[in-house]
Amino acid sequence: MLKKGLLHPVLFLLTGLALMLACGQRVEIDPPVAKIVPHLDTICQQETTDNYFWLRDRENPEVIAYLEAENNYTETVMKHTEKFRDELYREMLGRIKETDLTVPVKKDDYYYYSRTEEGRQYSIYCRKKGSLEAPEEILLDVNLLAEGKDYLYLGVYEVSPDHKLLAYATDDKGNERYNLRIKNLETGQLLPDSIENIATSLVWANDNKTLFYTITDNAWRPYKVFRHRLGTDAQKDELVFHEKDDAFFTGLDKTKSMAYILIGLGSNTTNEYWYLDADKPTGKFKVIHPRQHQMEYSVDHHGDKFYILTNDQARNFKLMQAPVADPAKKNWAEVIPHRDSVMLTGLDMFRDYMVVYYRQDGLKQVQVTEYATGQTHRIEFPEPVYVISGGDNPDFKSELLRFVYMSLITPNSVYDYNMKTRERELKKQKEVLGGYKPDDYQMERIFIAARDGARVPVSMVYKKGMVKNGRHPLYLYGYGAYGITMDPWFSSNRLSLLDRGFILALAHVRGGSAMGRGWYEDGKLLHKKNTFNDFIDVAEGLIEQKYTSADRLVISGGSAGGLLVGAVVNMRPELFKIAVADVPFVDLMNTMSDESLPLTVIEWEEWGNPHDKEFCDYMLSYSPYDNVRAQAYPHLFITAGLNDPRVSYWEPAKWTAKLRALKTDHHRLLLKTNMGAGHGGASGRYDYLKEIALEYAFIFDILGIKK
């Protein structure tokens, strides 16, 4: 285990060194005077010393001063780009319809929506009763809640079943601990009920007087479920569930039928669900199937049956059903069998229809089945590369399926699909101002062979007329963890890259689930290096096929994608010109060895338990922070969030410090820490654009793009 040792920080006078860097002189940063006691040697039998452990002590004013000095250094180095950054900000802002509203969602007799207003950072939540022509009722104006605050995030927004009360919870620090309030929507007044430090999981019972919520432990793990009755002292709320296993998170949900409240327990490989009649909120929850190691399942409800998606003896998942009267596993019956080429990913139940989401050949698909006839059909989509996701579908009796469609060139488009007539209606496509024309751009999907023969999908977009001559700047993004696939979504901000000649490429590397569950399993634990090798092989393939060249290649990734960036710049630094790492998870060994940190224990199923020598040795062989060495690195732009509970600010800060001490090049290395935000960066939509403008200006400046 890591020992803290004494704190002897050395503050780096970065602002004073900015001109040295601008003049091409190498900036050397010495490590702290006192080194930290070696750690992990008893596990990996390898001595490891952490010279920058002192940066973990955020209560030490010198640590805050260090982060602020890094920020000042970044601003000094980038000062000559201020005008360009402002132009980029206004360019991206100019594509956004600042005063806009979402497509209203009908629930009972109300139409719910949110809207934004020009010049205001946050959304305004509203509804209309009876018709869209009715007077607007503002339920919650987040701009008012955010007044006087640098950060504000709405984590809970749940209207009671009778539409008379609103439960909402906000976080004003970015640390993902939320304060809950209840608003009477008839009077506009807040109820006395107030609960602090809850998580984002909350469900109303059908009596409109009882709600269930979760709280987190000291490691930010949602682990307890409480029952609260309106008008009672929250300190006396009844604990209805306590998850004691540090590897499991706790969450709440409600079936769309409104019949059952669900408690979901989950690690990275195992699930367990408990259910309660939503009409009997004082009752006791019952288990559907007790946790079974490495068996995942999820639950929905229809009629007298529960429907269960599970990977039990089904790598890519299968669909089962079980009687509500006794949903034990022995009573499960197969509805959709397992298929090697198809991965089931989601389920949406309606009174007359069942909607199944799945992934085949790397693309999402939607299948609709009518209960009365048993007829099944697939919804067709027009483009070769796209993203499809279920929209807000609260009406159990509806024949309309709302879904959201987009691609690398098609903006966010909300459709209502009639499951009976098979007709679709475009309700709204997000408007991109500034004369955007999708026909000016071209999408492409290719496969690049990895070194072991695996075919890695790559989604790309660029301006039409692009000639493959190897001279185009290319922005390559990767993630590759937790089975999450970074689908080809649309972003108007990327037009600032594309219109300057960039190719945008998404590498769907192993560790995600683009090609099924096996694609994920082949990129985790003792196979994790496949993620990095895939990314490197994609980069080399794009260069070989003359999409770009090493001196024009920009790579980017955030969080676990930041680990990817950190690993590949250690492995093949000469392959990349610029690397962007947003809130990067780079201090793998220290974090996975500290069980007091958020997410650590549950993460062992993703990366490995460092207390096991085989895993420890393997993780240590690629951990970005531990493998920084004396060599030339690409230009690096790194971000952090001081209040980030997912990737602690000290990971990117320590990584930056170690890179400064060891790298042998004159390339830029900048760290930008948001001192008032967490994992997601700035909460306001305008502030967020300024962060992107800074990143783009960094890239353009190095590549010599001046406007």
Confidence class for position 219, pLDDT limits 50, 70, 90: confident
The pLDDT, as a whole number, for residue 23 is 29
- Checking if the pLDDT of 4 tops 70, the result is no
Q: In this predicted model, what pLDDT tens digit does every residue of 37-76 receive, in sequence order?
A: 344 555 665 656 789 999 999 899 999 999 999 999 999 9
Q: Which phi and psi angles does 75 have, rounded to 5°?
A: -65, -35
Catalytic residue among 559, 593, 648, 683: 559
Amino acid at 382: P
Question: Which residues, other chains included, contact 277 with Cβ-Cβ below 8 Å and sequence gap of 6+?
Answer: 259, 260, 283
Q: Average pLDDT over the chain, rounded to whole?
A: 90
Contact 404, 428 (CB under 8 A): no
Token match 């393997």: residue? 618
As given in the structure block, the two tokens for residue 220 are 């930010």
pLDDT digits (tens, 9 = 90+) for 299-323: 999 999 999 999 999 999 999 999 9
Q: Starting from the edge strand earliest in sequence, which strands make up the sheet with 342-349, in order?
A: 342-349, 353-360, 363-370, 376-378
**251 burial level (CB within 10 Å; 0-12, 13-18, 19+):** middle
pLDDT tens profile 379-413: 999 998 999 999 999 999 999 999 999 999 999 99
- The DSSP 8-state label assigned to residue 573 in this structure reads G
In tens, the pLDDT along 421-454 reads 999 999 999 999 999 999 999 999 999 999 999 9
Judged by DSSP in three states, 61 sits in helix
pLDDT surpassing 80 at residue 664: yes
% of the chain beyond a pLDDT of 90 = 83
Answer yes or no: CATH 3.10.310.10 is held by domain 80-93+435-703. Answer: no
Q: Is 559 a catalytic residue?
A: yes
CA atoms within 13 A on the CB side of 122: 19
pLDDT, tens digit, for every residue of 526-546? 999 999 999 999 999 999 999
Tell me the pTM: 0.87
Please tell me the distance from the alpha carbon of residue 10 to that of residue 31, in angstroms, as a whole number: 7
Q: How many helices (H) and strands (E) does the chain have?
A: 14, 36
Extents of the domains making up the chain: 80-93+435-703
**CA 339 from centroid of its chain's CA atoms:** 28
CB atoms within 10 A of CB 645: 19
Give the pLDDT score at 678.
53
Joined together, the tokens standing for residue 299 give 């639950």
pLDDT at 530: 98
Report helix angle 61-77 to 14-22, nearest 10.
Answer: 30
Q: Is 617 a catalytic residue?
A: no
85: pLDDT strictly greater than 50: yes
**Residue % of the chain over a pLDDT of 70:** 92
What pLDDT band is residue 598 in, cutting at 50, 70 and 90? low
At residue 669 the predicted structure's pLDDT band, cuts being 50, 70 and 90, is: very high
Q: State residue 429 phi and psi, 5-degree precision.
A: -115, 130
Residue 171 has pLDDT above 60, yes or no: yes
Rounded distance, CA 37 to CA 468, Å? Answer: 52
Asked whether the predicted pLDDT for residue 498 surpasses 80, the reply is yes
Exactly one of 648, 667, 679, 683 is catalytic; name it: 679
Structure token pair of residue 556: 């980017």
The larger pLDDT score, comparing residue 8 to residue 127, is at 127
Q: Which one of 172, 300, 644, 701 is the catalytic residue? A: 644
pLDDT at 20 over 70: no
Name the least confident of 151-160, 285-294, 440-449, 670-679: 670-679
Give the number of other Cβ atoms within 10 Å of residue 579's Cβ. 25
Supply the pLDDT for residue 396.
95
Over residues 154-174, mean pLDDT? 95
Q: Are 232 and 586 in contact (CB under 8 A)?
A: no
